[in-house]
Amino acid sequence: MIFDRQQAGPVLGWTSAVAAYGAFIAPVVIGEQIKAGTPQLAMYGFAVFYALCLVLNWAFYLRAGSSIRNP
């Protein structure tokens, strides 16, 4: 566990809210790009977003000298 019991609830709530927003916005973006005739732009944008998320997670939790260590 990364967070203690007092922080786990708010973190879970925040994560759920962001996940719900992502489940709403992804189909909207893909639908708009399909209407525009360029769905590959949405896929490139999502790929860049996910790569950025991967780098941020590595930097904060997985690298050797990180201040918050994932057990």
Residue 70 lies in a domain: no
Residue 36 lies in a domain: yes
The mean per-residue pLDDT over the stretch 37-60 comes to 94
C-alpha span between 68 and 60 (Å, rounded): 6
DSSP assignment letter at 37: T
State residue 21 phi and psi, 5-degree precision.
-65, -40
Q: Which tokens go with 12?
A: 């879970």
Model's pTM, two decimal places? Answer: 0.70
Report the amino acid identity of residue 17: A
Residue 40 lies in a domain: yes
Residue 21 lies in a domain: yes
Query: Domain span at residue 14?
Result: 5-62
| Count: domains in the chain | 1
Q: Does pLDDT of 1 surpass 80?
A: no
Residue 49 lies in a domain: yes
* CA angle 66–48–45, rounded 5-degree value: 150
Q: What is the structure's pLDDT at 29?
A: 93
Of residues 45 and 60, the one with the higher pLDDT is 45
Q: How do residues 3-46 score in pLDDT, each as one tens digit?
A: 788 888 998 999 999 999 989 999 999 999 999 999 999 999 99
Of residues 42 and 63, the one with the higher pLDDT is 42
Residue 27 lies in a domain: yes
